[in-house]
Amino acid sequence: MAVLITPALICGVRSHGENGAIARLLTPDHGLLAGYVRGGRSRALRPVLLPGNSVKAEFRARTEEQLAGLAVELDHSRAPLLSEPLPAAAIDWICALTAVALPEGTPYPALYQALDGVLGAIDAAPAARGWGAALVRYELLMLAELGFGLDLGRCAATGGNEDLAFVSPRSAAAVSRAGAAGYEKRLLPLPRFLIEGGSGDWPSIVDGLQLTGFFLERSVLTDWRADTLAARERLVDRLKRAVA
């Protein structure tokens, strides 16, 4: 029987049978893994099996094809954040994205570190200005890791790298203000924090989510639109209301 013990981030949980649950966890060295938790719907385990929680996970399976049995030990709970609308919406979305977008068993160490970083930022500063930019960067990294990366290094029209302000929805490449002249309404805004770094202001965070959301919906979430994008819509709606 193969045994794997690893730190992990809980990304998705669904009920299975009368009292069990199937959890999908992102691990640092083995990517996204699923396992059956006996008693996962019990009073003791429900608070542990929350998306966003950090756990110590033990997977046991007789064969690679078999769904592994999973035991979890709580390392860090983010349950207190789930009572706050914006942090709760962000955790719900980013974990749902990870659970449905990644193939199982493929290592994505950069994504694990980035997800851990975003969740840590939400812990440290529940106000969205403290983690909004990190969430946008995570979505950009997700696109790149899955082969749909954006080219934000130079203008697709002029070849230069100055005054980049838009992204072409067709080529996923940056466009400068000069290169976009007359076509601005057909392009997506490129927030400055994705070029210059920093946290960005409210409008730029919303622009960043609009940018990454377009490419995630087009290239990654084509088979999961109804279920998964609803979580993102809730997050963006709450952010826009916070901005207003």
Q: pLDDT tens digits for 179-224?
A: 999 999 999 999 999 999 888 888 899 999 999 999 999 999 887 6
Q: In this structure, are residues 18 and 48 in contact, taking their beta carbons and an 8 Å threshold?
A: no
Give Cα separations from 141 to 14, 38, 131, 152 (angstroms): 26, 34, 15, 13
- In the three-class reduction of DSSP (H, G, I as helix; E, B as strand; rest coil), residue 82 is classed as helix
Give pLDDT, residue 226: 61
Q: What is the Cα–Cα distance from 32 to 51, expressed in whole angstroms?
A: 13
Q: What is the Cα–Cα distance from 37 to 89, expressed in whole angstroms?
A: 25
Domain layout of the chain by residue ranges: 2-77, 81-152+190-243
Give kind and range of the element (H or E) at residue 163: none
Q: pLDDT tens digits for 86-113?
A: 999 999 999 999 999 999 999 999 999 9
Percent of the chain past pLDDT 70, that is, above it, reads: 97
Give pLDDT, residue 244: 59
CATH topology of domain 2-77: OB fold (Dihydrolipoamide Acetyltransferase, E2P) (2.40.50)
Least confident stretch, 65-69, 157-161, 203-207, 240-244: 240-244
